Amino acid sequence: MNWMSLRDVYTPKQIQVAKRLRASDWFICVLHGAKRSGKTVLNNDVFLQELVRVRKIADELGIAEPQYILAGVSSRTIQNNVLQELYNRYGMEFKVDKHNSFRLFGVKIIQAYTGTISGLGNIRGMTAFGAYVNEASLAKEQVFKEIVSRCSGEGARIVADTNPDNPNHWLKRDYIDNESENIINEHFKLDDNTFLSKRYRESIKKATPSGVFWDRDIEGLWVIGQGAVYKDFNREIHYVDDVPYDEISSYFVGVDWGYEHYGAMVVIGETDDGTWYLVDGCAEKHKDIDFWAMKAREYADKYGANIPFYCDSARPEHVNRLWNDGLNAFNADKSILSGIEVVAKGFKTNKLFILRNAIPRFDEEVYQYAWDEKTGLPVKVFDDVMDALRYALYSNVTKRNGFVG
């Protein structure tokens, strides 16, 4: 294959990286940067090339079946990000055994799951001739380092890809910032993926919230949030005095329990085109569960008996109380950054509106809800209505995709 034909399947950035990988010997290579920038597509192909190289080394050493680690956060992410993509690109099908291992090019592939410490179980004691770690920043540090230690076979190499995270993350500190002859890295931006049309890339940019999400998702930078969390909230746009109730097709509620600090319930109405309106709710201190159960019943009577309540799981007895009262109560998906991004995109794309004075506390919190520059997460003050809003919107999205229970 010549470089002219490579341009038909790889972007200029991918070709540059591929040339670098071929031109030098290395032990660890981390491709990091923006979403949709072409990192995983390239690494999937590097994975195949590495298997061919491993088989050749094994033949020279007289090893019948060399082992290689394919690692990801879970079996589902490996399937979606690697195996399914290889099937879509090359028609490859993988027959896994009872241990979820499979063989390719004469190499035994051992799958390891990096999202939990138990992921160590599949690889303890083995000698691997290399590894491919997908979504490396989501891996438990102990699991990643065990993978590195297992790769002791002749000529072993580790390829990894990741989206950016906190700049103090162990992956950046120990590997990306420690580039050497043995450890190399390549940074990708959204615009590096020239197979995405300019129109599509511009639409992604328009929908990406300002601040940390722009820096990570568009520029591919390892940054921490600074200042206000919802920089794109504009009271002149996002506060409304009227709600098109006749266009709303469903309602749902987010619940953040409190006592010494504010507890909050927010009622969201959603139209068929995916526009959200915060239409009702309350925020109160020093109220017990009887009060919140009364408010929940009030909202169910007003907005529909089957309205779902996405509740803070920190108080399971409160969630059970709503359930026992005949209300549709669930544990919320409390993912912080992913949830904040959903809310922030709502403001950025003008798909989230707040009925003025529906919850007076909202106005006090939205401008003081700020990033903690040490942790990379929001400061835990002025966050009660903000948390309830996040629980509602993100849980609604994930439930639609089948992940909330």
Residue 1 has pLDDT above 60, yes or no: no
CA distance 210 to 332: 26
Query: Residue 2: what pLDDT?
Result: 46
What sections of 151-211 are H helices per DSSP?
A: 170-174, 198-207
Taking 3-state DSSP, the helix, strand and coil percentages for the chain, each rounded to the nearest 5, stand at: 40, 20, 40
Question: In the predicted model, what is the mean pLDDT of residues 307-313?
Answer: 97
Identify which of 232, 233, 215 has the alpha carbon closest to the alpha carbon of residue 224.
215
Query: Residue 3: what pLDDT?
Result: 45
Strands 102-104 and 157-162: unpaired
Report in angstroms the alpha-carbon separations of 369 from 59, 340, 382, 395: 60, 11, 6, 20
- 196: amino acid identity, one letter: L
- 153: amino acid identity, one letter: G
Order of strands across the sheet that contains 107-113: 102-104, 107-113, 67-72, 130-133, 157-162, 28-33, 183-188
Residue 214 has pLDDT above 50, yes or no: yes
**Do the Cβ atoms of 378 and 336 come closer than 8 Å?**
yes
Query: How far is Cα of residue 119 from the mean position of the Cα atoms in its chain?
Result: 19
Place of tokens 């990096």: 114
* CATH class of the structural domain 235-400: alpha beta
Residue 349 has pLDDT above 80, yes or no: yes
Determine the topology of domain 3-197 in CATH: Rossmann fold (3.40.50)
CA distance 106 to 200: 40
Residue 402 has pLDDT above 90, yes or no: no
Query: Residue 121: what pLDDT?
Result: 85
pLDDT digits (tens, 9 = 90+) for 113-161: 999 998 888 898 999 999 999 999 999 999 999 999 999 999 999 999 9
Mean pLDDT over each residue of the chain, to the nearest integer: 94
pLDDT band at 111 (very low <50, low <70, confident <90, very high): very high
Encoding tokens for residue 316?
């399971």
Start and end residues for every CATH 3.40.50.300 domain found in the chain: 3-197
Is residue 24 classed exposed, middle or buried when 0-12, 13-18 and 19+ CB atoms within 10 A define those classes? exposed
3-state secondary structure 101-136: CEEECCEEEEEEECCCHHHHHHCCCCCCCEEEECCH
pTM of the model: 0.83
Start and end residues for every CATH 3.30.420.280 domain found in the chain: 235-400
